[in-house]
Structure 1
Amino acid sequence: MAAPMIRAALLATLALRVADALERNLLGRPPIYDVDAMGRRLFGSARAGRTLRWVYGPALVVTQKTLRLPPLFFGPAIALAELLAMPRVGATPPVRRWRRAEVPLLFAHATFFALAVDLL
């Protein structure tokens, strides 16, 4: 049971790089919730943002798999929680400063992740 969970955690978190690239192409720049930008805002280092992703992503995988949460529920739930939490902790500017496309893209990003977890 542990090996498939670890595999899913690594692959789903790695798959976020695909979502990142698609979002950059759609927006013409990184989204406001870009992992590197959040690392710089929170810790003064883009590398810290990437490290945080590799802790946070697998933790979400374990949660989704352990609780057997459907991806079309869990993905939007993650996005909603992030939408509320990220500005409060200083990871992103307030949502009112986000571009219009970034909120739905965040929901797509989180749902893509949850679907990847479900498929793995």
Structure 2
Amino acid sequence: QAPHFQPSTVSATPHRIMATDVNAVVLPATACGSSAVLSFVQTGAQIITVADNQTTMQVSPAALKIPALTVQSYPEAIGALVAQKAGIELAALYSDQHFARKGNPSSALQSLSSVPMT
């Protein structure tokens, strides 16, 4: 049976990870069109895309106006997660060109900096 979303009325258990438990999602830079990614964007999860991992999907975060940090590799994505977990502002590490923009240039940075990493 294929995976499916659980209704939000389902109570969380220690063995079940709910979408609201996810703080960040790391995925290929061209794989942003899935319903899972769009659902995580709505929960406020940080989206990190990896440019070195291309897919046949060809849907970038910029095409959907998703605020995202684009890095070159998965090790760099891990570094970004560790830095934010340590309290380092990602905007201090990356220029605006790394961030997919939504509206004005600073909105993606504001969106990413508002996501708490627990």
Q: Which has the larger strand fraction?
A: 2
What TM-score, normalized to structure 1? 0.32
What TM-score, normalized to structure 2? 0.33
Q: Which has the larger helix fraction?
A: 1
